[in-house]
Chain A
Amino acid sequence: MKTDLAIIGAGPAGMAAALAGQECGLHVTVIDEQAKPGGQILRQPPKQFTVTGWLEDRVYREAKTLLNQASEKSAIIWQFHSAVSAIVSPGVHDNFTLIIAGQNGIRELLAKRVLITPGCFDMPVLFPGCNLPGVMASGGIQAFVKCQQLVPGERFLFVGSHPLQLIVADQIVKAGGKVAGVIFAQSRSRMLALLKSPFTVLRNFDKFAQVGAAIGRLYKAGVPITFNQTIVRANGEDILQSATVAPIANDGLIQKTSTSDIKCDRLGICFGFLAATELAWQAGVECIWDAKRGGWITIHDEWMRSTVPGISVAGEITAIAGADVAALEGQIAAYGCASSLGSVSLQQVEKLSVLPRLKVKRLRRFARILTELSWPGASLLDQLESDSVNLCKCEEVTIGSFFRMMQLNPHITTANSAKLLSRAGMGLCQGRYCQYSVTRLMARQLGVSENKIGAFTSRFPAKAIAIHDLLKCE
């Protein structure tokens, strides 16, 4: 199969790009591992469900409009239940080859241009008990409510530093679940600092209104929202039974002597997001480190073109900035691809991009403030670490053993060579859940920048494939 523009990911960035690319006359194919378009913000219920009043809140309106427009365009080719395992750059001919794992084997797609929009995932945070069944990503909890129409537990506690946890807690309460509390590591005054700029508030009114209404409903439901507090431990023999939380003093130190236990069977973790850059790395795209905006993020030019000719990037992998920015970046990226393929003139796309560019600039400003505000701070992450906690959950490499490895092998100064010796990053998640911590920890220990530590080499397949399937062609 062949296409002009292959888009990896059917989230806001991918959908907007598909629309723009198709309008510019390109043959567009969108590939997504999920069953339906929408990405993480719009994880849709399965087609066999009928849900009335799904995600009616105003903040979802724009994304839903995009979803409707994109779904209706019959010229766009959608490939769902399909995970892109690798992007092979042109060898003899000048097309990229995407290797795609479907439900019944492997297939290849040839593409003149590739746009990578795989989004992000909840940032994992290391603390004692963080691997206990019952501890979950807040975004994951939310997806059960949005998509599967399930309240995935009995009594929820949310801990973190990102305001999204208020929205998720509210959605759980609305759906009939119990929430034991929402705990923020920051001070209330730091959270309120955002409101100091009335201009920002006005321009992003929907988002503030959504959070404001959520807070109101949570108070009404008797859900305590606390600040200057953090999770220190998840407790339970085999399953989560309670969470130990502790106050954070003004100097940023956790007061480990005045802890309290809160009963819960689900603990939602909400400290922000990490960019899903593995495919970009694999394709040779250059990334830089930004601890607050997604860890390793891709770099790009004004048309969202990456450092690899023919590959563009958009959405959360360029820096965590939310669905609106993602969609606009996707649109601009598609224009860039269309003009480079000659289906429209540069002048035309320049014109079409004026407004999206202005909007992106404004929204990014807001996104920057938001990431600044929702960043838990390196000191907190450092304090939560403890020797017996798994640094790499898949290979069960503890922080303590990793430190010992570093001590015994002072020549090891890159994430890759640390991976080789320690096995951290060699498991099924392909290092997605330990890379951020490994990078941070090594940079701190060696006193160098994270960019010097580098990333793990990203390899085929982006996600493990059954050998049985790999030997079959779809």
Chain B
Amino acid sequence: MAHRITKNVERETKLELTVNGKPVCAYAGESLATVLLAEGITIFNLTHSGKPRGLYCNMGTCFECQVKVHYLGSTQARWRRACMQTVQAGMQITTGISLSNLQSDQYED
């Protein structure tokens, strides 16, 4: 499993969010990709034909790392590249679902 480097690194505030419904702690400044890998998640989404995919380039060009993100205070979840998106408190992330998925759930505000 992936792990955060602790030697010579100081991280600031901790944030809370959920990954597939489970509460998870992350550090401010982390990308969603980091949080997901640290949680042991390798499959980020399923292709239209149902094949699992995980992140590849970690620089925003390959679009393999998309996950569904719901932001606090919004009514919809959106597909985001996990490697390009910084964590925010209260985010709800869903992984492992099909890219064909238009709107997984309706969220209450």
Contact = CB atoms under 8 A, between A and B. Distances in A.
Interface string B56-71: 1111111110100000
A396 B5 contact: no
Interface residues of B, number: 46
A143 B55 CA distance: 13
Interface string A135-172: 11101110111001111111000000000000000000
Interface stretch (A40-48, A336-344, A443-451): A40-48
Nearest to A427: B63
B8 A51 contact: yes
The range of chain A's interface size is 35 or more
Interface string A410-441: 00000000000000000111001100000000
A121 B57 contact: yes
Interface string A245-278: 0000000000000000000010000000000100
A199 interface: no
Interface string B25-65: 00111110110011000111001110111111111111110
A230 to B, nearest CB: 19
B97 to A, nearest CB: 14
B28 A48 contact: yes
A384 interface: no
Nearest to B31: A148
Nearest to B11: A49
Contact of B57 (A46, A122, A175): A122
A396 B48 contact: yes
Contact of A45 (B29, B54, B59, B64): B29
A393 B51 CA distance: 10
A150 B5 contact: yes
Contacts of A132: 52, 54
A13 B55 CA distance: 27
Interface string A24-61: 00000000010100001000011111111100000000
A148 B11 CA distance: 11
A46 B43 contact: no
A150 B61 contact: no
B84 A148 contact: no
B10 interface: yes
Contacts of B34: 144, 148, 150, 152
Given A136-B58, A139-B59, A432-B61, A150 B53 contact: no
B60 to A, nearest CB: 6
Contacts of A134: 42, 54
Given A49-B12, A132-B52, A145-B5, 9 more contacts: A48-B11, A50-B10, A51-B9, A122-B57, A136-B58, A140-B57, A140-B59, A149-B5, A429-B62
7 closest Cβ pairs, A-B complex: A133-B54, A46-B29, A140-B58, A48-B29, A428-B63, A50-B10, A48-B28
26 contacts: A46-B30, A46-B86, A47-B29, A49-B10, A52-B8, A121-B57, A121-B59, A132-B54, A133-B54, A134-B54, A135-B54, A135-B56, A136-B57, A137-B62, A139-B57, A140-B57, A149-B4, A151-B4, A152-B58, A238-B43, A239-B52, A396-B49, A396-B51, A432-B62, A463-B60, A468-B78
